[in-house]
Amino acid sequence: MSAPDKNAAPAAAQTTNFLKNIIEADLAANKFAGRGWAGVPGDASLHAAGQPDPAKIRTRFPPEPNGYLHVGHAKSICLNFGLAREYGGVCHMRFDDTNPEKEDLEYVNSILDAIQWLGFSWDAHGTHHQYQASDYFDFMYRAAELLIERGMAYVDQQTPDEMRTNRGTLTEAGKNSPWRDRPAEENLRIFREMRDGKHPEGSMVLRAKIDMASPNINLRDPAIYRIRFAEHHNTGNKWHIYPMYTFAHPIEDALERITHSICTLEFEDQRPFYDWLLGQLRDAGMFADPLPHQYEFARLNLTYVITSKRKLMQLVTEKHVDGWDDPRMPTIVGLRRRGYTPGAIQLFCERIGVSKGDSWIDYSILEGALRDDLDEKAPRAMAVLDPLKLKLTNWDALFGAGHAEPCSAPVHPHHEEMGQRLFNLTPELWIEREDFQEVPEKGFRRLFPDNMTRLKYGYVIKCTGCEKDADGKVTAVLAEVVADTKSGTPGADAVKVKGVITWVSATQGIAAEIRLYDRLFTEAQPDAGGRDFLAAINPDAKKIVQTWVEPGLATATAGTSFQFERHGYFVADRKDHGNGKLVFNRTTTLKDSWGK
């Protein structure tokens, strides 16, 4: 062994994704070289007759089409599609629809949409790698018969209660079923009767015959087929038996010649069965080496976010939010509408890496990735969210009545090539209410009587007072323009000021509805310990305000992101913005406001 190289890159840089290390080692060992690929999923003989696989590795993303994808799925998508892309492989898009539940086309389409929006594709080498697990029912059935013929599966007629009792516990071995030693021919005959609908639901199951004393309970003769008289959206009424997920999944992977089957940690204890099953089916000639391997990683837990499909569904059906694409939702459609970009989500997934230990990722890491992505790209604009009128009382004397003073600002402070924004300074403006204090608190530097402040990209002004209504509420701030102080003109900084404020012309600015979104929950772990997550809903997560924005935003198209100077990042809403109506969603503030 050689001494560690002191000049080597830090270990962290190499190990943030342990799966990369595994794939690199597999590729270096030529583990998949010469493997056949038939161009379609199939068994060993089919693939053996195919071409050498043009894909260096094969991964898959296998959602059940029973809901909208969320930020946790995004991690799995970035991982599976990302690894395939990085290593010259292919990632299969597979709908895991072995459960005979009603498939909703709405979910199927939204899943395909979300993956493409994130920037990934399942097209490679001229093939559209989109599959559905229910297309493999015939293969799965054959696999079950092969196990029976090899004496590795049996029909069990114990009641569900008996089966549960005889399974044993973590400290106690299970007991063999009285049906365990039925002859293979009898198992085959009854299994075929099950298939043909001759036995009622729940009366029997097919079980793998492994070891009722195994310390791993998943190996204590797991059920692999059950009777269900249910119509399947793809296969109709053809089947009266359906495979269990743990049996179906390895077979799906093997048929598709997946090399690295990446799943979340809760499947770790299933891996021995995964390997047992594929080993049996290889020995029976159905599959060939190299068989797929399962690797587990920690699922994404994000603070202030819920990723249980069932609970997300509840938020929607009970109308705690305005649908799946509500900008407060952690669904991909929600994040998108909130103003998240594919780049931000990919950056987030890269930063959190992949680990083998469950942990909570702080929401600020997601927002940080978003700010880093948007900061570089988003055009700037001024918007006044809490408008208060500012009247420049010496305007006519200084410029002449009716004058509008042209001002300009960079579209992006670090990208001159993005050009200039043009807008006019006029004698009446909108400013933020918080920028004026009649009696200034200590350290306040903006508008208060006799103080001077700069109107950003415009002139220095001197506050002279304010107007109030009968209740004493300030209705307008009064100020005078200080001559010869316009930003960008010679001598503009001869007058020193400590404060700069943003503004929008009261006569030329445009009205816009702004939806101020915040985190949906007030608790970092809203559903921890069985807590009622609904009680942790943040009632202030959505506030609608009527605002004024820079005139140039009149042409903003839906889905475009901006940085509203000093306020944060906003996106023109994909649904409600347009046709003369301006609607912006706050994506995030400029700084992390939730701190620890």
Q: Where are the alpha helices (DSSP H) in 284-331?
A: 309-317
Minimum CB separation of residue 363 from ligand ATP in Å reads: 14
Give the one residue of 166, 264, 364, 560 binding ligand ATP; rule: CB under 6 A.
264
**Closest approach of Cβ 341 to ligand ATP, in Å?**
20
End-to-end CA distance of the chain: 45
Nearest residue to 268 via CA among 146, 356, 397:
356
Give the residue, chosen from 36, 41, 42, 62, that forms a contact with ligand ATP under the rule CB under 6 A.
62
Q: 70 vs 542, which CB is nearer to ligand ATP? A: 70
Among 60-68, 235-243, 450-458, 573-581, which window interacts with ligand ATP (CB under 6 A)? Answer: 60-68
Q: Give DSSP secondary structure letters for 185-209.
A: HHHHHHHHHHHTT-S-TTS-EEEE-
Report residue 166 as tokens.
Answer: 């005889």
Q: Which is nearer to ligand ATP, 263 or 460 (CB)?
A: 263
Q: Does 63 bind ligand ATP (CB under 6 A)?
A: yes
Does position 82 interact with ligand ATP (CB under 6 A)? The reply is no
How many Cβ atoms are within 10 Å of 171's Cβ, its own excluded?
A: 6
Which of 224/305 has CB closer to ligand ATP?
Answer: 305
3-state percent helix, strand, coil for the chain, nearest multiple of 5 = 30, 25, 45
Q: How far is the CB of 89 from ligand ATP (least distance, A)?
A: 17
Nearest approach in angstroms of CB 241 to ligand ATP is 21
Residue sitting closest to ligand ATP (CB)? 72
Token pair 């001869």 in the structure block, residue:
494
CB of 66 to ligand ATP, least distance (A): 6
Which of 440, 402, 442, 447 shows the shortest CA–CA distance to 424? 402
Q: Yes or no: say if 129 and 89 are a contact pair by the CB < 8 Å rule.
A: no
- Residue 252 or 432 having the CB closest to ligand ATP: 252
271 near ligand ATP, rule: CB under 6 A: no
CA distance 561 to 393: 36
The burial of 206, by beta-carbon neighbours within 10 Å (0-12 exposed, 13-18 middle, 19 or more buried), is given as buried
Strand-strand pairing, 583-588 and 568-572: antiparallel
Residue 177 within binding range of ligand ATP, rule CB under 6 A:
no
User: With binding defined as CB under 6 A, does residue 94 bind ligand ATP?
Assistant: no
State the nearest-atom distance from the C-beta of 292 to ligand ATP, in Å.
14
Burial of 376 (0-12, 13-18, 19+ CB in 10 A): exposed
Residue of 20, 46, 64, 188 interacting with ligand ATP (CB under 6 A): 64
Minimum distance of ligand ATP from residue 78's CB (angstroms): 10
Q: Find the shortest distance in angstroms from Cβ 69 to ligand ATP.
A: 8
Contact between 73 and ligand ATP per CB under 6 A: yes
Enter the tokens of residue 281: 């089916």
**Total binding residues for ligand ATP by CB under 6 A?**
14
Stretch in the footprint of ligand ATP (CB under 6 A) among 63-71, 235-243, 462-470, 529-537: 63-71
CB nearer ligand ATP, residue 212 or residue 352? 352
- Among residues 17, 59, 76, 294, the one that binds ligand ATP under rule CB under 6 A: 76
Say whether residue 66 binds ligand ATP (CB under 6 A). Answer: yes
Show the site string, 12-51: x = touches ligand ATP by CB under 6 A, - = not. Answer: ----------------------------------------
Between 253 and 550, CB nearer to ligand ATP: 253
Q: Among all residues, which ones are annotated catalytic? A: 64, 299, 309
Q: Return the number of the residue (93 or 388) whose C-beta is nearest ligand ATP.
A: 93
C-alpha–C-alpha distance, residues 421 and 195, integer Å: 70
- Asked if 250 touches ligand ATP (CB under 6 A), the answer is no
Cα gap 96→246, rounded to integer Å: 12
Phi, psi of 126 (to 5 degrees): 75, 10
Which residues, numbered 273-302, are part of the site for ligand ATP (CB under 6 A)? 299-300
Q: Which stretch binds ligand ATP (CB under 6 A): 64-72, 138-146, 399-407, 564-572?
A: 64-72
- Residue closer to ligand ATP by CB (options 263, 583) is 263
350 versus 405: smaller Cβ distance to ligand ATP: 350
What sign has the CA pseudo-torsion 430, 434, 437, 442? negative
Distance (Å, whole) CA 587 – CA 370: 9
In SS3 terms, 540-588 reads as: CCEEEEEEEECHHHHHCCCCCEEEECCCEEEEECCCCCECCECEEEEEE
Asked if 331 is part of the footprint of ligand ATP (rule: CB under 6 A), the reply reads no
Question: Residues 305-324: x/- map of binding to ligand ATP (CB under 6 A)?
Answer: --x-x---------------
Phi, psi of 590 (to 5 degrees): -70, -35
Examine residue 121 and tell whether it contacts ligand ATP (CB under 6 A): no
Distance CA 256, CA 43 (A): 9
User: Which residue number, 80 or 585, has a Cβ lying nearer to ligand ATP?
Assistant: 80
**What string of DSSP letters covers 6-44?**
TTSPPHHHHHSBHHHHHHHHHHHTTTTTT-EE-SS---H
* Token pair in block for residue 450: 């006799």
Interface residues with ligand ATP (CB under 6 A) are 62-64, 66, 72-73, 75-76, 263-264, 299-300, 307, 309
